[in-house]
Structures are given as structure tokens and as C-alpha cells.
A and B are shown apart, each in its own frame.
Chain A
Amino acid sequence: MPFLALITRNVLTRRVRAGLTGLAVAMAIMTVVALGVLTHSLRRTAISVLQTGSADFTVAQKGVSDVLYSSLDNSQVARIKAEPGIQSIVGVLVAAIKLDSSHPFFLELGIPPDELAPFGVQILKGRPYTATATNEVMLGWRASQDLHKNVGDVINIDGNNFTVVGIYSVGNVFGDSASMLPLTTLQTNERKPGNVTLAFVKVTPGTNIDALRKRIEQANPEVATVRTQSEFGRVDRNLSLISAANVGITIMALIIGAIGVMNTMVMSVFERTREFGVLRAVGWTRARVLALVMGEALLISFVGAMAGVVLGYLAIRGIQRVPELVGVFQPDYTSAIFARALGIAFGMAFFGALYPAIRAALLVPMEALRHE
């Protein structure tokens, strides 16, 4: 009989208990998966704002709750531009609007036409807008395909009609799924004259980027510079709060699941003391007894985790139906989230079963055999 068959048999012998434990694991994993997908999707949406152009790093207002609330004025951008080592700095006003229910998060980037080149924009078709045009827009090539709008077409954005004058590429998904229009036009429409959201910095070759960032932050205490995704929390506190809550709840789910598994396995080991005595008496090693108990916990957790992943997926489908969130929240299922769920289920089984398994392995065969 294969060892796995014995493990399965033992778990199925106590199927109600195993089922309930598996259910507890499933609920914990469901929470982890649903929250993970939610957080990841929000993060991706937020990160997209930072990755619309090519830059060595980005400057934003420090400590705002959402990166879209960041506000830098012309004088700040000018001051930063004066730092040595900066090749170009492009101030961009970013606005996120809802085009329609299938495009709930559409980015408008306000950039003066003469800064398109330093921002890394390539015109694929048509021409750039003029600096003061109030009804000209360029679409990223992905947005153009997605919205079925080409050069010469008219598009309604936030109540205003714009003519598509060009199709561009910036070489990244987020930028290419957005739109660009003159900075002054967007500033007027958004009622933010003289303000930009972010400044995208390119350095002259050979510049020490981190030293430059430090100088900028020292000279301008109200701004933060961001180079990698992990630094994003510096300019988007909501996101860092959500991420922290995600980590905290994940750890709690792990602990709760592990306690559930432990309770079940301790009970099981106690009831089966005599059985372990028999197994040791017929020559089982301590290691094999340990593996048996661990294996049973792992099997229960693994099946629970599978159910949890399915439940998590259904929970996200449910969240998507919440009227306020229809279309806004676009779930992003990454394999990393599922791998993490499995890892957590493994952790529950391991930490939950460790104590009972060791207890079972350390039983003195003779005493275990005498146990009623």
C-alpha cells in the first residue's frame, strides 16, 4: 500500500472532522486570495500612473493619500530642473476618468507638445496636437485599438469632444493605453492651472541617481522621488495602508488556519495513541510516524486550499458586482497570488501539525500500547 494511500485512508476515516478543518482552511485561503487579488489590482492600477512615460525616476508630492492627488506647481518643477545631472524633467498632469463602464479607469496625460520627445513619445500616425489646442487629443496605440478610434475620429472624453490627431507609442502598456492632450487644456478642464501631478526625470549619463534623488528631497522637503514599485507607498499612502492590511490579514489567516489544523491533529493524535504504539511495535520509525501525521495535515490543508482558491475567485466575482465597483475594479489574477495561497496552506499544515506530529513520534511504544 503506498504511503499516500494510507494517509488518504486515515483522513477519510474521520471525514467530518477533516471536512470541517478543510473548510476552515478554505475560508482562510479564500480571504487571502480575494484580498491578494484586490490589493494587487489596486496597486497595478495605481502603479500604472507612474509608468506612463520613460524616466529614471518620478517626482511627486510627498505623503498624499492617492498618487492622483499629488500636486506640484511650476516653480517646484523649475527648481528641481536646476539641479545638476538632470537631462530633462517633464511635468505631467494626470487625470483618471471613467470613459464608460468597460473603461472605468482611463488616463489623460497633459503634456506640452515640445516635451513629448523627452517623455519618450513616438508618433506612429498623424501628428502631435498643438500647444494650445482645446479639442485635439492623441491616443496611445492600445487605446486606439481598444476604443476603435483612429486619426480623424472624434472621441468624447468627460463631456468634451476631441478630435484624434495622432496615435503614439511610449513602449509600455499603461502609457499606450492612455491619451495625451496639451497640458494647458487639461489644466483648464481639471481646474488646476499651473499644476502638474508628477514630474518625470531623466538624468544625464553617468549621474549617481540616488545621490541626485537625495539632493532633490533635501532641497524640496514637500516632494518624494520614486524609482521602483516598492517605493510607491511614499507617494500613495492609501495603497501602502491597503498593502499593510493585506499582509496583516494574511498572517492572521495563517495563524487561525494553523490553530484549526493543530486542534484537529492534536485530537486525532491523542485518540490514536494506541495506533501509533502498534505502528512503532511493527517497526515504524519515529520519522515515519511524524511523516504520517504531517501528511494527513498537509492533505487536509491542500484540499482546503483548493476549495479556498475557488471560493476566493467566486468572492471576487461577487465584489465585482457591487454596484459602486462595477467596472472600476478589474481583477488581476496572478499566479503569484495562487502560489502564495498554496504556500500559506502549506504553512498552516506545517505549523499546525508540527507539535502533534512530534508528540506522536516521541511516544514510547510500550506506553502507547497500554493507552486505552
Chain B
Amino acid sequence: MSDAGAPGPIIQVTDVVKLYDDGLVRALDGVTMSAARGEFLAVTGPSGCGKSTLLQLIAALDRPTSGSIVVEGRDLREAGNDTYRRTGIGLVFQLHNLLPNLTALQNIEVAMFSNGHSHGEQRTRARELLDAVGLGAKEKVTPPRLSGGERQRLAIARALANRPPILLADEPTGSLDSAAVDRVLELFREIREREGVTLLLVTHDAHVASTADRIVYMRDGKIVAAPEADVPAAAPAP
């Protein structure tokens, strides 16, 4: 892992193209973007513009057709990605993707196998995270008996299990009512303050995006200029 004070972005995406269905679908069409260490970055744009695809590639769940993704100085095309997924990032999916047969506590523990800590330490960490997301009293409850907002908070707790420097979230508020949305956004703020993570959040919701430090806009698989200038606007066009 590179030292915390290293200059340059923690995530660097360069000229990434992702084709689906033998090239019929151009999900990403030459995307270049980056995120600075500790930044809260929102990626937004209409449905189908390629936000999720971009996030999945950064999460090393899939490989770009071309282009490169470098995270903390490490090119994702090289070396195995299991360790990266376990310790380099935390993932919060659009659908919570919890394991329905495991309790809240076990859902967090399941992400901690072979992270080098004892079962006792893992359990302590899992409890600590449940407390942090306000589910301390529900550790024995299984996901089907949690509310939508609780599930999403549990998913966030699981993403933080191995103290990743980066948190990737795909529409984490997608299926929640506005009270639950505010709760999750509040949680993200707390996590950034406490754990100092870089947060990359994908959303089509302008309100959610507006809580970020910076917003990246996408359309048809490309990064586009912002509707409101918020990208380096040192020399705005006349």
C-alpha cells in the first residue's frame, strides 16, 4: 500500500472502454476520471449511462475491454484481485446483497475470512460496526427481518469490515424512503470523518449527489461537462 501522503489520485481511470454483447453495447466509451485521497466523489447521470459499469470495473468485479484503472498505484490488470476486493475496497451494492440465512453479525463476519485476525477480533470488529450503523441491538436478526434502510446500513457496515481505504457505493439509497436516505447519507459522513475513507458514490439522484465534495457527470458511457460548472473552472469559456 502506498503511503498516505502520496501525491496523485487514489483512483485513476484512464481511457476505459467497456463493451458488452460482442461490442453491440458500448457501456463505457473512453472514460478518464480520478478521485483524490479522502475525497467524497459522486458519479451521476441518467439511467443506462454506464455508472454501475464504471464502479464494477473499479471494484475489479470485471475487466475493462481497454484502458487502465490504477488504484493506490496498483494496476488492476495485474495480479489477483481477491485480496484487493477484500482489503482494498468496500462495496455497497444497489441491492443490498446480504446473505439471507446469516444473522446481521454473521453477514459482516463472512467478509472477514482470512483477513489475518482471530475469530474473536473479527467478532469485536463486527459488533463495533453494527453499533456504528445503529444496528447494535439487531446482531442476531437476519436480513429478511430488517427494514430496507437497516439492510442498507448493514451492507455499509459489511463494506467497512476490513478497514478499506476506499468505499464504493452503487445507488445505496436507491430503494429507500427519504428518512432512510438521510440516515444513510449521515452515516457516510460519519464514516468519512471516523475512518477517513475515500468515498465513490454512484447515484442518479441529484439530491444525494449534491452532498458530495465533487460530482462527475456521465452520459452515454462518457464523462461530460457539468450542467453547473464544478469541474476546474479556472478559465470558463466566454
Interface centre among A277, A282, A285 (most CB of B within 10 A): A282
Encoded as 1 (CB less than 8 Å from any A CB) or 0, chain B from 97 to 139 comes to: 1110110001001110110000100110000000000000000
Pairwise interchain contact B86-A282, C-beta atoms closer than 8 A: yes
Pairwise interchain contact B56-A282, C-beta atoms closer than 8 A: no
Q: How far is the CA of A278 from the CA of B97 in the complex (A)?
A: 7
Q: How far is the CB of A175 from chain B (nearest CB, A)?
A: 59
User: What residues of B have a CB within 8 angstroms of the CB of A369 in the complex?
Assistant: 61, 93, 97
CB-nearest residue of chain B relative to A286? B82
B34 in contact (CB, < 8 A) = no
Pairwise interchain contact A282-B101, C-beta atoms closer than 8 A: no
Pairwise interchain contact A13-B101, C-beta atoms closer than 8 A: yes
B152 in contact (CB, < 8 A) = no
Pairwise interchain contact A285-B99, C-beta atoms closer than 8 A: no
Pairwise interchain contact A365-B97, C-beta atoms closer than 8 A: no
B32 in contact (CB, < 8 A) = no
Pairwise interchain contact B101-A283, C-beta atoms closer than 8 A: no
CB-nearest residue of chain A relative to B83? A283
- Contact status of A366 and B62, CB under 8 A, knowing A282-B91, A283-B82, A284-B113: yes
Pairwise interchain contact A281-B106, C-beta atoms closer than 8 A: no
Q: How far is the CA of A285 from the CA of B115 in the complex (A)?
A: 12
Encoded as 1 (CB less than 8 Å from any B CB) or 0, chain A from 63 to 77 comes to: 000000000000000
A332 in contact (CB, < 8 A) = no
User: What residues of A have a CB within 8 angstroms of the CB of B114 in the complex?
Assistant: 285, 288
Q: How far is the CB of B54 from chain A (nearest CB, A)?
A: 13
B14 in contact (CB, < 8 A) = no
A279 in contact (CB, < 8 A) = yes
Pairwise interchain contact A1-B85, C-beta atoms closer than 8 A: no
A142 in contact (CB, < 8 A) = no
By secondary structure, the A interface counts as: helix
A124 in contact (CB, < 8 A) = no
Pairwise interchain contact B61-A9, C-beta atoms closer than 8 A: no
A274 in contact (CB, < 8 A) = yes
User: What residues of A have a CB within 8 angstroms of the CB of B59 in the complex?
Assistant: 281
Interface centre among B91, B113, B158 (most CB of A within 10 A): B113
Q: Which of B83, B99, B113 is close to A278, meaning CB atoms less than 8 Å apart?
A: B99
Pairwise interchain contact A283-B86, C-beta atoms closer than 8 A: yes
Encoded as 1 (CB less than 8 Å from any A CB) or 0, chain B from 36 to 71 comes to: 000000000000000000001001011000000000
Q: How far is the CA of A59 from the CA of B113 in the complex (A)?
A: 65
Encoded as 1 (CB less than 8 Å from any A CB) or 0, chain B from 66 to 89 comes to: 000000000000001011111100
User: What residues of A have a CB within 8 angstroms of the CB of B61 in the complex?
Assistant: 280-281, 365-366, 369
Q: How far is the CB of B162 from chain A (nearest CB, A)?
A: 7
Interface size on A, residues (CB 8 A): 24
- Contact status of A282 and B119, CB under 8 A, knowing A1-B109, A9-B102, A10-B101: no
Pairwise interchain contact B97-A281, C-beta atoms closer than 8 A: yes
- Contact status of A275 and B99, CB under 8 A, knowing A283-B83, A283-B162: yes
Residues of A269-297 contacting chain B, CB below 8 A: 274-275, 277-286, 288
Encoded as 1 (CB less than 8 Å from any B CB) or 0, chain A from 341 to 372 comes to: 00000000000000000000000111001000
Pairwise interchain contact A3-B97, C-beta atoms closer than 8 A: no
Pairwise interchain contact B113-A288, C-beta atoms closer than 8 A: yes
Q: How far is the CB of A37 from chain B (nearest CB, A)?
A: 40
Pairwise interchain contact B101-A9, C-beta atoms closer than 8 A: yes
Q: How far is the CA of A275 from the CA of B143 in the complex (A)?
A: 13
Q: Which of B56, B93, B111 is close to A283, meaning CB atoms less than 8 Å apart?
A: B111
Residues of B136-169 contacting chain A, CB below 8 A: 158, 161-162
Q: Which of B85, B102, B122 is close to A282, meaning CB atoms less than 8 Å apart?
A: B85
A2 in contact (CB, < 8 A) = yes
Q: How far is the CB of B160 from chain A (nearest CB, A)?
A: 11
A147 in contact (CB, < 8 A) = no
Q: Which of A1, A9, A13, A285 is close to B82, meaning CB atoms less than 8 Å apart?
A: A285
User: What residues of A have a CB within 8 angstroms of the CB of B111 in the complex?
Assistant: 282-283
A6 in contact (CB, < 8 A) = yes
Pairwise interchain contact A279-B110, C-beta atoms closer than 8 A: yes
Q: How far is the CB of A254 from chain B (nearest CB, A)?
A: 31
Pairwise interchain contact A9-B106, C-beta atoms closer than 8 A: yes
Q: Which residues of B contact A (CB under 8 A)?
A: 56, 59, 61-62, 80, 82-87, 91, 93, 97-99, 101-102, 106, 109-111, 113-114, 119, 122-123, 158, 161-162
Give 21 A-B contacts (CB < 8 Å), ordered by A residue.
A1-B109, A1-B123, A3-B113, A6-B102, A10-B101, A274-B97, A281-B59, A281-B85, A281-B91, A281-B93, A282-B91, A282-B111, A282-B158, A283-B85, A283-B87, A284-B86, A285-B82, A365-B62, A366-B56, A366-B61, A366-B62
Return the 5 tightest CB-CB contacts between A and B, nearest first: A283-B86, A282-B111, A1-B109, A283-B85, A13-B101
